[in-house]
Structure 1
Amino acid sequence: MAEPQSNQVYRPESKSKGRFYDPPEEIKLGNGLSRIEEGNRWVFVGTREAVVSAGIVPMHLLPGQPGQPKNSVSLRPRGVCFDGSVHFAPGYIRIFQKGDGRLRVVLNMSAEEVNLRERERQKREADAAAASSALLAELPASIVSYCESAIKISGGRWAVEQWFNSPEWLAQSEVAPKTRRQVLDALKVFELVEIERRLSKSPMKEAKSVISAAKQSSVRN
């Protein structure tokens, strides 16, 4: 079953009820434990001993321990208030027993971490918008206006590039070589603007993929 996702920011307005635990203040990764980031959650996979040693949750709360369900355990963070589904509450944790004997632990990030990431995201987007405006400001206004209209009408920058690389279309539309070169150069700037905006919205792992794709595109061109 798919696990819920949320970009909701912590707001201390209501209290949750149910089984509680004390969220970890610090997690120390060691041998036998891996960690990846999924939205506003950390996902750990490792042995029981590694999970306990990292300080994520004590042994007696793990699945299969006396008084605990056999296959999975869900715990609500003690002392955390949240206005919404408890599944999105900072510190909410789910622990699943894997078939190979290891555990999969899904831990919602703390309120401080979530709010910090939201501020960083907003700053990245603002910086990207400023950088994009500076790039486009270097082009003639008429070319920018033409490219914006052409991209909107054609459905994408790649379609406009196809037009201006088609001898038949160029001849039919009577496009001068200088104009063609100006538009193609401008489209490269629009590509940089797209990359800036995509990077500002992407986590680091996805951002690296965007950069790699841009490099490959540059080599091909």
Structure 2
Amino acid sequence: MSQRVLELGAGAGLVGVALARAGARLVAATDGSAEAVSNCAANLRLNLQQHPVVECGQACELAALEQGVAVCRLAWEEPLPPGGVRFDSVVASDVLYDPEVVPVLVSLLDRLLRPEVSCESGGAASSPAISMSSGAAGGAHVAYIATLRRNPATLQLFLETAAAAGLQVSPLDGWGDGAVSRVGGPHSAVRFHLGVLDDKSIAERIVIHRVTH
């Protein structure tokens, strides 16, 4: 894998554990809640004892990291630090549960995936002047958003808002043993059993979207 991965809405840290075990060079698990970040750090230490977990006080500290596992509070509506936070890819799981978060999430994805280097401090979170470094400089190339489809209107709002922001969103061909996403497939580096997913009616409601600029 050998990528630097930024996770949004890390929660308890399950995805961060999976990313580290799958071989990501750098995993930065972020959340807007300080309590969630603290709990995430504890869970990462419990499950990744061979990986020291760095607790960053500010998002700008993430830019100095090249490898390992880190946690940090990252509020989606706040401007990115000057110079951006450089990652190869962005992931988020189960973050599209409330229509109110959709514009804020899309604004952040726009900034994280924007190819131009034009980062100014003190701007509004939705300002296009606040952006990530280009791909050549180590900026994010792609985001993967995993969603349990609860309210079709919320997912549709995400797709429409992303399109209006100039983002390209496409569903992966499959999950489970699918050839593209391979979540839980026989060749996956990490596998978890969740009893609720034994219910096919629930499993079929999960969709993973690939987002690019």
TM-score, length of structure 1 as denominator length: 0.23
TM-score, length of structure 2 as denominator length: 0.24
Relative to its length, the structure with more strand (as a share) is: 2
Relative to its length, the structure with more helix (as a share) is: 1
